[in-house]
Amino acid sequence: MSESKKKVDEVDSTPKILYITGLYSKQKYCQAERVEVFNAANEECQKHGLSMLVMTVVNNSPKSFAPWLERLHKSKARFPYLVKDIGEKNYRIELESSAKATAFNPETGEQSLVEEFEALRGDGGTTEHLDIFRLMAEIHNDGFEYATDNGFEYVSILTGDQMIPKEHPIVLTEFLKHHPECGQVNGLVYFTRSKKMILVDGVERESYWPLVTCETREQTEWLWRNMFPTKEHGGLEYAEVYLMGSGGTMIPRSIFADKQFRFNEKYDGNGEDIAFCKLLKSKGKKVFLVPWLRIPNRNPDGSLY
């Protein structure tokens, strides 16, 4: 029996949390740290009567990357895991020459064209681009099916370089237990440049412009102004939002076991995570943010962003 199969068999027959994380060769730099992060989260789960399984989905390096990840996990992982190699999947997407991808500046509220998309657009007709949206949607949807068929109660989606705090599974699953109207809930994912020091009760404290938006500009700005990392110093315990990314999110079984809730595998001008939020909202489900639960990412140079 393979080491990977042994690890899966060690998990409770009805594991409760499935972590789905897509992994790419350029993200090798932080995987040793991420193993320790999952180790810590798994220990917290055990303390609270929960179980977790990490499904690492490997793409674009089928001959060398998956074995490397297996060796890393064999030597250091203390959590149940499953490595799924989906092989070379380079879906292409055709963008109309008039297509526009915009970036939002939280400091000014201005939008600007994303240069990498500008460079891909031609003078006419269409141009091809790697369809990362379809690839990630497929990975997430496959994870939903696996979780449904194997008795999971929660699914969490992570990017390949995110560092979840050890309390991540406990905080978000407890939130979902008390908010049945919630379709997904996330911690605070932000870019370093969005962090500001502001005075709170006469003391400088960190505040963030998170990667979320509310239904109106006014609501979004209010959220930014009140975004502190700790509840003890006036931070919000949670907030309802309109759109947010899927990295770090937690989704209950009532959503992922229902086939009407699936990530859009056809690019429609929105990223797969934004399209999923819109789908949830259209079906009467709410999206929440727990701002004091921070989920940073790791840059190749080791810095967090």
| Domain match, 117 and 248 both | no
Encode pLDDT of 192-225 as tens digits.
Answer: 556 677 776 677 766 666 677 888 888 877 777 7
Encode pLDDT of 145-166 as tens digits.
Answer: 999 999 999 999 998 888 899 9
- Residue whose entry in the numeric block shows the structure tokens 């991540």: 168
Q: Is residue 27 part of a domain?
A: yes
Question: Confidence band (pLDDT; 50, 70, 90) for 185?
Answer: very high
Q: Is residue 304 part of a domain?
A: no
User: Which H/E stretch holds residue 151?
Assistant: none
Question: Confidence band (pLDDT; 50, 70, 90) for 123?
Answer: very low
Q: Which of 199-203, 235-239, 252-256 has the lowest mean pLDDT?
A: 199-203
Q: What is the C-alpha to C-alpha distance for residues 125 and 121, in angstroms, rounded to an integer?
A: 9
Q: Is residue 303 part of a domain?
A: no
AA letter at 148: T
- Residue whose entry in the numeric block shows the structure tokens 């006469």: 202
Average pLDDT over residues 264-269: 78
Q: What is the C-alpha to C-alpha distance for residues 161 and 302, in angstroms, rounded to an integer?
A: 11
With a CB cutoff of 8 Å and minimum separation 6, the contacts of 191 are 211, 305
Q: Which range of residues forms the domain containing residue 152?
A: 3-91+131-294
| Domain match, 123 and 75 both | no
Both tokens of 268, joined, read 């429609």
Residue 118 has pLDDT above 50, yes or no: no
| Domain match, 51 and 115 both | no
pLDDT at position 202, please? 73
With a CB cutoff of 8 Å and minimum separation 6, the contacts of 72 are 31, 32, 35
pLDDT at position 51, please? 94
Say if CB 210 and CB 189 are below 8 A apart.
yes
With a CB cutoff of 8 Å and minimum separation 6, the contacts of 222 are 214
| Domain match, 244 and 120 both | no
Domain end: 75, 110, 129, which one?
129
Q: Is residue 302 part of a domain?
A: no
| Domain match, 109 and 55 both | no
Q: Is residue 305 part of a domain?
A: no
| Domain match, 199 and 280 both | yes
| Domain match, 105 and 23 both | no
| Domain match, 119 and 66 both | no
Query: In the chain, what are the helix, strand and coil shares in percent, each to the nearest 5?
Result: 35, 30, 35
Q: Is residue 299 part of a domain?
A: no
Q: Is residue 300 part of a domain?
A: no
Residue 114 has pLDDT above 80, yes or no: no
pLDDT at position 117, please? 45
Q: What is the C-alpha to C-alpha distance for residues 72 and 39, in angstroms, rounded to an integer?
A: 13
Encode pLDDT of 272-297 as tens digits.
Answer: 888 999 999 999 999 999 988 888 87
pLDDT at position 229, please? 56
pLDDT at position 213, please? 80
Say which residue, 107 or 191, is predicted with more confidence: 191
Average pLDDT over residues 137-152: 94
Domain end: 104, 129, 154, which one?
129
Average confidence score pLDDT of the chain: 77
Residue 231 has pLDDT above 60, yes or no: no
**CATH value at residue 276:** 3.90.550.10
Q: Which of 45-54, 248-257, 265-274 has the lowest mean pLDDT?
A: 265-274
pLDDT at position 121, please? 43
Q: What is the C-alpha to C-alpha distance for residues 86 and 80, in angstroms, rounded to an integer?
A: 20
Cα 138 from chain centroid? Answer: 14
| Domain match, 144 and 169 both | yes
Residue 4 has pLDDT above 80, yes or no: no
Domains: count for the chain? 2
pLDDT at position 9, please? 46
| Domain match, 40 and 19 both | yes
| Domain match, 87 and 236 both | yes
Encode pLDDT of 46-105 as tens digits.
Answer: 999 999 999 988 775 555 566 666 766 677 888 898 888 777 766 665 555 455 555 545
